[in-house]
Amino acid sequence: MTSDTTTIEVRRLSPTASTIAITGDITSGTEPALMDAYARASDDATRSILLDFSALDYMNSGGIGLLVTLLVRVQRQNQHLFAFGLTEHYRQIFELTRLDDAIGIYDTEAAALERAVGLDGA
Amino acid sequence: MTTETSQPSGTPPEETPTPAPKTSNWAAPVARLEVGTVPTNALNLNVAGRRLAGPVQGFGQLWQKTYRVALSDADVTPEVVIRTWKEHFGEFWPKGNRFYGSLTSLEPGEVAVLNLAMPGKMTLSTGVLVIYADDESFAFMTPEGHQFAAWITFSAYRDDPAAVIQVQSLMRASDPLYELSMPIVGHRMEDRFWAATLQALAARFGDPGATVDMQRVCVDRRRQWRYAGNIRENAAIRTTLYRLTHPRAWFHHEGNG
């Protein structure tokens, strides 16, 4: 359960939206790095967090649990969580675990951001 | 646009070979569960046709519960522990509970029927899907109607000099009735169940007196009222109604000794 094969980058897209880009693996050991990234991605104005999985190498069941923990924190702040860049395999895992009920999945960052902006204006 | 990078301490990524995709470790998506052949003495209710329900779909507070036992035999490897656990999963369960799964080894995509002992000599029929399995861990997800909308991960790892065996569940009570029972019996039953299971597994590896460490963290105190209707699928109610309307089932089912 190490997190030494993971790099997490935060990109501020707009005053209300940030992307957390994950490179490498997501396991339960990734928790400190992911939660640190979320803390940097989120402030009082943030309404949407986008997860960029385009460079995801591997995710195990601990990683899926970690995403639920992140989802809870995001919802507690009345924010929305989106994902993009998932391979077909990991899309299927989101479908299997029914994470896609709560995390909107999009092909691209632009598509996810468009939805996020739409929710801001709703 | 501003960019910040966080990299956990350890080996820089450029020095780390990219692992090959481990796609076969996960089950394929399933819309509704299908149950294979189960023994005739099994009470097979509340599984076939049900959808899976994880922590996102549950009603109650979100809990992360971790149960751990450290083996005193330093020579036991995590791979051996997990292989043994997968091959004999139900044998380590407490008396009165039955796991009707694979006769060989648990594999991703496999559906198992569970007959769980409940207070008042009642039996609850439910199930699980094996959603993930590798050499050092495997994980279950529960169907609608199960007490918990949960993912449960079983793993083993080295914490020198010992091997540590762990059960970790991320769960919400599925509906308001189960949630009501959590502080009364729900948590206590689950804690006893997994502690007894880990002690039995530790005994298999020559450590019958092993102490199980438990941690319970409330990840989300809020209840998800939009899932209150899950009570329609409540497996405890449905099992009870079935047994009341099928008296022969009282004699048909065999407990675990």
The DSSP symbol for B88 reads T
Chain B hits for A7, Cβ within 8 Å: 5-7, 13
pLDDT digits (tens, 9 = 90+) for B116-148: 998 888 889 999 999 999 999 999 999 999 999
Sign of the alpha-carbon torsion through B80, B81, B83, B84? positive
| CA–CA gap between residue B70 and residue B81 (Å, rounded) | 12
In the predicted model, what is the mean pLDDT of residues A81-86? 98
CA-nearest of B220, B227, B62, B228 to A75 is B220
Chain B residues 166-185 with CB within 8 Å of chain A? 168, 170
| CA–CA gap between residue B3 and residue B139 (Å, rounded) | 35
Q: Are B63 and B183 in contact (CB under 8 A)?
A: no
Pick the CATH number of A6-115 from 3.40.50.170, 3.40.350.10, 3.20.20.70, 3.30.750.24: 3.30.750.24
Minimal Cα–Cα distance from A28 to chain B, Å?
Answer: 11
Inform me whether the C-beta atom of residue B52 falls under 8 Å from chain A C-beta atoms: yes
Chain A residues 82-111 with CB within 8 Å of chain B? 89, 92-93, 95-99, 101-102
**pLDDT above 70 covers what percent of chain A?**
95
Chain A residues 12-51 with CB within 8 Å of chain B? 12-13, 23-25, 28-30, 32-33, 36-37, 40
Asked if the model's pLDDT at residue A87 lies above 50, the reply is yes
In the predicted model, what is the mean pLDDT of residues A103-121? 92
Contact between chains at A98 and B52 (C-beta distance less than 8 A): yes
pLDDT digits (tens, 9 = 90+) for A6-52: 999 999 999 999 999 999 999 989 999 999 999 999 999 999 999 99
For position B249, what pLDDT does the model report? 67
Instruction: Write phi, then psi, for B222 (nearest 5 degrees).
Output: -75, 150
Question: Which of B10, B13, B153 lies at the smallest CB-CB distance from A61?
Answer: B153
Asked if the model's pLDDT at residue A1 lies above 50, the reply is no
Length of chain A: 122
List residues bridging with A80 in a β-sheet: A48
Sign of the alpha-carbon torsion through A2, A61, A93, A110? negative
List residues bridging with B152 in a β-sheet: B140, B169
For position A121, what pLDDT does the model report? 66
Low-confidence ranges of chain B (pLDDT < 50): 1-3, 6-20, 254-257
| CA–CA gap between residue B1 and residue A18 (Å, rounded) | 9
Would you tell me the crossing angle of helices B78-87 and B187-204 to the nearest 10 degrees? 110
Chain B residues 16-35 with CB within 8 Å of chain A? 16, 18-19, 21-23, 25-30
Which helix (H) or strand (E) covers residue B233, if one does? none
Length of chain B: 257
Q: What is the ipTM of this complex?
A: 0.88
For position A89, what pLDDT does the model report? 95
Give the 3-state secondary structure of residue A24. Answer: strand
| CA–CA gap between residue B69 and residue A69 (Å, rounded) | 24
Count of beta carbons in the 10 Å neighbourhood of residue B100:
23
Chain B hits for A93, Cβ within 8 Å: 26
More confident residue, B203 or A122: B203
Q: What is the pTM of this model?
A: 0.88
Domains and their CATH numbers in chain B: 45-226 (3.30.530.20)
| CA–CA gap between residue B237 and residue B241 (Å, rounded) | 6
CA-nearest of B239, B206, B233, B244 to B58 is B233
For position A120, what pLDDT does the model report? 73
Write down the domain spans for chain A.
Answer: 6-115
